[in-house]
Amino acid sequence: MACDSWRSKIEAYADAELSADDMRGMGDHLRACAPCALDLLGSVQLKRAVKTAGTRFQPSLALRHRVEKELEAKSTPAQPWNWMPKKAAAAALVVVALLLFYGWSSSQQAQAFAELTDLHVATLASSTPVDVVSTDRHTVKPWFQGKIPFTFNLPELAGTPFTLEGGRLAYLDQAPGAELIYKIGNHRISVFIFQNRSDRRFPPGDSRSRRLTFNVETWTDDDLRYFVIGDADADTIHKLSELLKTVSRS
């Protein structure tokens, strides 16, 4: 497919609305086409700016009470569900509440993953992708001292197909963390390490998923949350994740 054809699909790609085949094709194209990669970065930045600027107005507590009161008053007489047994009505309400909460929670998690994907793409598009350039874990790890409020261990990579390229500071929800860049073949993989959070922004436990054709693996260990993200295949992401898990748990 010609570059112009891919270019016309960049916004749909940023919106995660292309077919699986097109998502893969676009991923391949972006690795080879700097102008399109720059366009994608611009589209992603515009989306994030609109998200931030557009989340602007908060309802007052008084309004919330007013609406709740009105709903309460209106739902007592002659409502269609009044014929339902009370237990069934209560169960239905619980189901609706759970559905709403699950939808909200999923959206929060999707947003957290989207922000990490943005960070990864921005790193790859940057002319200075790492702040500390070294293949030596004993150089990269100490560089973070005093810059982030925690420490971590990095695996020995001798005998593995992975190479450490360096690291940089990353921020998620105004909290600093570490981003480590690993290379395998022509693929670059970002490993993000942040302090764990108790809210619903991060999925509980370990998980592996696919976002915008990037493979993502995440887990918690010792109050730290790890994310491994890249366009390499899921097995490769998992192998690097296992190396990191082994050393962090040793």
Partner 1 sequence: MPLFDSLYNFARWLTRNREEAEDLVQETYSKALKGFGSFQPGTNFRAWMFRILRNTFLTSRTGLKGGMTISLDSEEGESIAPATTETPESLLMERCNQQMVQEAIEELPLIFREVVLLCDVEEMSYQEIAETISIPIGTVMSRLARARNALRAGLTKKIHGV
Residues that bind partner 1 (CB under 8 A): 4, 7-8, 10-12, 15, 17, 38-39, 41-43, 45-47, 49-60, 63-64, 66-68, 70-71, 74-75, 79-81, 96, 99-101, 103-104, 107, 110-111, 125
Helix (H, G, I), strand (E, B) or coil at 89: helix
Q: Pick the closer one to partner 1 by CB: 51 or 210.
A: 51
Q: Pick the closer one to partner 1 by CB: 101 or 171.
A: 101
Q: How far apart are CA 121 and CA 230, in angstroms?
A: 9
Q: Pick the closer one to partner 1 by CB: 114 or 140.
A: 114
Q: Pick the closer one to partner 1 by CB: 127 or 186.
A: 127
Burial (CB count within 10 angstroms: exposed 0-12, middle 13-18, buried 19+), residue 127: exposed
Q: How far is the CB of 91 from partner 1 (least distance, A)?
A: 14
Q: How far apart are CA 105 and CA 194, in angstroms?
A: 20
Q: How far is the CB of 28 from partner 1 (least distance, A)?
A: 20
Q: How far is the CB of 88 from partner 1 (least distance, A)?
A: 14
Q: How far is the CB of 51 from partner 1 (least distance, A)?
A: 5
Q: How far apart are CA 184 and CA 160, in angstroms?
A: 9
Q: How far is the CB of 139 from partner 1 (least distance, A)?
A: 30
Q: How far is the CB of 57 from partner 1 (least distance, A)?
A: 4
Name the DSSP letter for residue 33: -
Q: Pick the closer one to partner 1 by CB: 11 or 221.
A: 11
- CA distances (Å), origin 46, targets 34, 149, 167, 197, 221: 18, 31, 26, 27, 34
| φ/ψ (deg, to 5) at 54 | -80, -20
Residues present in the chain in total = 250
Q: Pick the closer one to partner 1 by CB: 60 or 145.
A: 60
Q: How far apart are CA 215 and CA 120, in angstroms?
A: 12
Rg over alpha carbons for the chain, rounded to the nearest Å, is: 22
Q: How far apart are CA 114 and CA 106, in angstroms?
A: 12
Q: Pick the closer one to partner 1 by CB: 58 or 250.
A: 58
Q: What is the rounded end-to-end Cα distance, in angstroms, of the chain?
A: 48
Q: How far is the CB of 176 from partner 1 (least distance, A)?
A: 20
Helix (H, G, I), strand (E, B) or coil at 185: coil
